[in-house]
Amino acid sequence: MRLSTTTTVLFLVLATTHTTQSADIDIKKFGGAPNADITQAFLSAWKEACAATSASRILIPSGTYKMGEVDAKGPCKAPIEVKVDGTIQAPADPKQLNGAEQWVKFGYVSHFTLSGNGIFDGQGATAWKQNDCNKNTKCVRNSMNFGFNFLNHSIVRDITSKDSKNFHVNVLSCNNITFDGYKAIAPADSANTDGIHIGRSTNVKVINTKLATGDDCVSLGDGNTHLVVQNVECGPGHGISVGSLGYYENEAPVVDFLVKNVTLKNTDNGVRIKSWPSTAIATTVTDMRFEDITMVNVLNPIIIDQEYCPWNQCSKKAPSKVKISKVSFKNIKGTSATKEGVILICSKSVPCEGVELSEINLTYNGAPAIAVCSNVSPKIIGKAPACTAPTNKVI
């Protein structure tokens, strides 16, 4: 039978509508109910969604739920959305997560969405009290709230991560994943609660996001390319960090990172690149752009630290072998909580190259903040403080 043009178009529209409409899977179907443990109900819902040949959506309605460790894996046959409007609580006792690196893991899926107005509450207070990693290099690492591993073309939208025992989010080996409207909340004294840590991933966007943590708001490990942090509020916390790098074997380069339209309030650092000294690890950091940023009472607003050695867990006898190049700091304004608003301490072994300071307007107690530099000669464009040599330990 030969179809008319009009009939053919109508058929295609109906077919497209059918294939993109999601089938809802409520966890109630598997016994999931408020004030109960929904671990098995969620895993059963995931199994059904993953096997579906058309798009599906798992629903967790409003209410408070308990949930243990979850590892939701693909590959799956069609797109999946997990829509959470309730509050899901992790066990308060870290031991009840059985040493899991992450409490909730999603992995090996394409076209995955985590959405809703829900809260994932890591109940981390007990874990923070037990954390002794600042003095014990063999400390037990507590579970992170989320692990997003080997995802493609995925989005996390509007979800809140609260009081994680460790990092709120770890992104590993993902391609084209976006965090939009995501929130991370934890007290300033909650140890190691990075808002989002990204490693070995490409095309990651963090936009329209609020991050209040006890560590870095956003941190980058090695092997990342084409990343954007834009329209983000950070504070409290340790700021936005590239690194630390140069600690592990076979670290891959970090290339193309844009931080734009960001406000940092009462953080330990603003925008930072950091690497370890006295290791044999060599990698590169290049094409870093930090622009249109507001600092409010930030201890170290602009900082490159190639002598990063927290808690004296390393030696500074040999310089870092991490090569940093093509870094621009542009249109950065606000208040510094220290006189040294710009600190650029680069490696004696591989000095920084291609560093630019453009339109830097930072004040300390009403006076212009100064720049302290070592092993780098930044290009000054427009208004920015000229470099002075460090006279003593400034970081």
Q: In the structure encoding, which two tokens stand for residue 164, read together? A: 């994680």
Question: Is the N-terminal amide bond of 301 cis, ω within 30° of 0?
Answer: no
Tell me whether residue 207 is exposed, middle or buried, using C-beta atoms within 10 angstroms of its C-beta: 0 to 12, 13 to 18, 19 or more. middle
Contact 112, 154 (CB under 8 A): yes
In angstroms, the CA 235 to CA 330 distance is 21
pLDDT per residue of the chain (395 residues) written in tens, 0 to 9: 344 444 433 333 334 333 457 899 999 999 999 999 999 999 999 999 999 999 999 999 999 999 999 999 999 999 999 999 999 999 999 999 999 999 999 999 999 999 999 999 999 999 999 887 767 767 788 999 999 999 999 999 999 999 999 999 999 999 999 999 999 999 999 999 999 999 999 999 999 999 999 999 999 999 999 999 999 999 999 999 999 999 999 999 999 999 999 999 999 999 999 999 988 889 999 999 999 999 999 999 999 999 998 877 777 889 999 999 999 999 999 999 999 999 999 999 999 999 999 999 999 999 999 999 999 999 999 999 999 988 765 55
Domain spans of the chain, in order of start = 5-388
| pTM assigned to the model | 0.92
Contact 209, 179 (CB under 8 A): yes
Q: Helix or strand or coil: residue 366?
A: coil
In angstroms, the CA 361 to CA 115 distance is 38
- What was the pLDDT predicted at 264? 98
Tell me whether residue 301 is exposed, middle or buried, using C-beta atoms within 10 angstroms of its C-beta: 0 to 12, 13 to 18, 19 or more. buried
Nearest to 167 by CA among 114, 104, 115, 254: 104
- What was the pLDDT predicted at 138? 75
Residue 387: φ, ψ to 5°: -75, 140
Q: Identify the sign of the CA torsion 300, 295, 283, 323.
A: negative
Fold of the CATH domain 5-388: Pectate Lyase C-like (2.160.20)
- What was the pLDDT predicted at 216? 98
Active site residues: 238
User: Residue 233 CA to chain centroid, in angstroms?
Assistant: 13
In angstroms, the CA 184 to CA 196 distance is 8
Whose tokens are 């840590």? That residue is 197
- What was the pLDDT predicted at 20? 52
Contact 373, 348 (CB under 8 A): no
